[in-house]
Amino acid sequence: MSGNEKTACQTGKESHRRGSDILHNPRFNKGTAFTEAERDALELRGLLPPRVCTQKEQEARVLANFRRKHSDLEKYIFMMALQDRNECLYYRTVIDNLAEMLPIIYTPTVGEACRVFGHIFRRPRGLYVSSADRGRMRRLLQNWPEEKVSVIVVTDGERILGLGDLGAYGMGIPIGKLALYTACAGVHPSLCLPVTLDVGTNNEVLLADPLYTGLPQRRLRGPDYDSFVDEFLTAVHETFPEVLVQFEDFATENALRLLDRYRNRICTFNDDIQGTAAVVLAGLLSATRITGRPLKDQRILFYGAGAAASGIANLIVSAMQTEGLSAEQSRGNCWFVDSKGLVVKSRSDLAEHKKPFAHAYPFIADLAGCIQALRPTALLGVSAQQNSFTQPVLRALAEINDRPIIFALSNPTSKSECTAEQAYAATDGRCVFAAGSPFDPVVYKGRRYAPGQANNSYVFPGVGLGVIASGARHVTDSMFDAAARTLAATVTEESLAQGLTYPTLVTIREVSLGIAVAVAGVAWQSGLTMKPKPEDVTAYVRSFIYEPDYSSYA
């Protein structure tokens, strides 16, 4: 969206709004920042306290109140209320304080919020599409007040982070993800639509809860589920033909199947599979600069063998091939351990997505035994099993590596395979550590370690911005490879010296811009868009970025 288009998007309806109507519309409300002239022109005189405040003064008030809250969940509720009241101020506050705000508006706090989403419900945000809406989905989508939607994040709530089936309470995830699209990459909030597909829940606690806000019935399965999702996506394509659809937190079987079915039919990707893969690949590429061992020489052991592990492994295989290995050699460097033990060819109980990584090797039941036998250089946790990286496991890895790579990727923090402190202590401070959730710096034997966070927000907002700007018809694995390499290249030598495998969060908007430019470049190079390629791609992509500043309201 160009600067002129952004202004129109922000202010197009403002001239038709007066008085209390504008104060109750989060898109146009500036609260106490309305000027004297605006108060007269918009019939606001007397409806606001008399002093005119700057946006910076409003932000200071927000932060003071935010920091007085006694729990992270209270902070989450406070920020959601601000988003519902004054959208511009919300994003200004989040962008100016990313390191403090991201753990509240998304992981890990969003997991706690989703657990009790119906109990903290204040005001609807996004669309709930239930199995009772069959036959009228296009009409339902037309109820959305925005005529143009560029990105939809959709979940069916079955695998929310590492918490499992939260049904309709999973709506917190699309809301949070789309807030990051705006905060981290500048996608205008009016272009973002959160959707929850309510197909029931098998969570007994929710089914027994009289305050549960979703359908109190068991989940749709089989052909009924598939036809429901297909009807929804068909209606989406008819209503918003150029929209990007991001699948989020579907259970492994459905996640892999739906991605395979729709990736070449519509513009779509699955963040748990492809976004996670890109951010992990970026972290591994950074880690190789610390360890001095190239990616093609890494042997990677995955603890957990679901959709995330499959997506990560497949992208790593592609990346190793670019470094000269064959596909077979690359897959030979990736090993899975699931709930039953090592994934090997002799097992007869393997799901299809595990079979490409099932090697001809004796079965081993326990993780420590796998490490001793396979001698991996990197251990990646995608299991949602808290404390599964025990001290013996971590020590076994440290005994065979000078700089073992340990990524405890499961979210939220309560599901992390180990803490940063446990990893550094068990490896005598030698590990290269990153986690899916944020951990505070660790002081071990007088040295300070700053653990990195393998946060998908480094990748998916920039990918989305690049797709929107270029008008790409599909999202490809090449785009995620480009995103991973762009992200890894932003990590400075100074950061690497601290053991950091990701850039600091304060740079994330520039990082997202770089990723968007790389993704758009892939779209043009691959012929995935009809838009003519501009002479200055960076300037063109930058013109789509929304800045939450009252001065742009004109």
Q: What are φ and ψ of residue 406, in 5° steps?
A: -130, 115
Q: Which of 389, 424, 454 lies at the terminal end of a domain, its last residue? A: 454
Strand runs labelled E in 164-243: 192-198
Q: Among this protein's residues, is 106 annotated catalytic? A: yes
Task: Report pLDDT for 17.
Answer: 61
Q: Are residues 92 and 114 part of one domain? A: no
Q: How far apart are CA 27 and CA 190, in angstroms?
A: 8
Nearest to 420, CA basis, from 448, 399, 455: 448
Q: In three state form, how does the secondary structure of 80-95 look?
A: HHHHHHCHHHHHHHHH
Task: Report pLDDT for 14.
Answer: 42
Q: What are φ and ψ of residue 256, in 5° steps?
A: -70, -40
CATH of residue 504: 3.40.50.10380
Q: Are residues 235 and 136 part of one domain? A: yes
Query: Is 254 domain-assigned?
Result: yes
What is the residue range of 522's domain? 458-543
pLDDT one-digit tens code per residue, 443-497: 999 999 989 999 999 999 999 999 999 999 999 999 999 999 999 999 999 999 8
Question: Does pTM top 0.85 for this prediction?
Answer: yes
Q: Are residues 479 and 437 part of one domain? A: no
Low-confidence ranges of the chain (pLDDT < 50): 1-16
Task: Report pLDDT for 505.
Answer: 86
CB-CB neighbours of 386 under 10 Å? 16
Q: Among this protein's residues, is 177 annotated catalytic? A: yes
Q: Which of 87, 106, 125 lies at the terminal end of a domain, its last residue? A: 106
Task: Report pLDDT for 1.
Answer: 45
Considering 106, 212, 449, 458, which one is annotated as catalytic? 106
By CB neighbour count within 10 A (0-12 exposed, 13-18 middle, 19+ buried), where does 143 fall? Answer: exposed
Domain count, the chain: 4
Considering 6, 30, 75, 177, which one is annotated as catalytic? 177
Strands 442-444, 447-449: pairing kind: antiparallel
Q: How far apart are CA 554 and CA 551, in angstroms?
A: 6
Q: Are residues 298 and 442 part of one domain? A: yes
Q: Are residues 358 and 343 part of one domain? A: yes
Query: Is 205 domain-assigned?
Result: yes
Query: Is 89 domain-assigned?
Result: yes
Q: Are residues 120 and 220 part of one domain? A: yes
Task: Report pLDDT for 8.
Answer: 36
Question: How many angstroms separate the first and last alpha carbons of the chain?
Answer: 17
Task: Report pLDDT for 553.
Answer: 64
Q: How far apart are CA 260 and CA 333, in angstroms?
A: 24
Task: Report pLDDT for 3.
Answer: 45
Q: Are residues 149 and 174 part of one domain? A: yes
Q: Which of 436, 454, 472 lies at the terminal end of a domain, its last residue? A: 454
Give the pair of three-digit tokens for residue 234. 């068909």
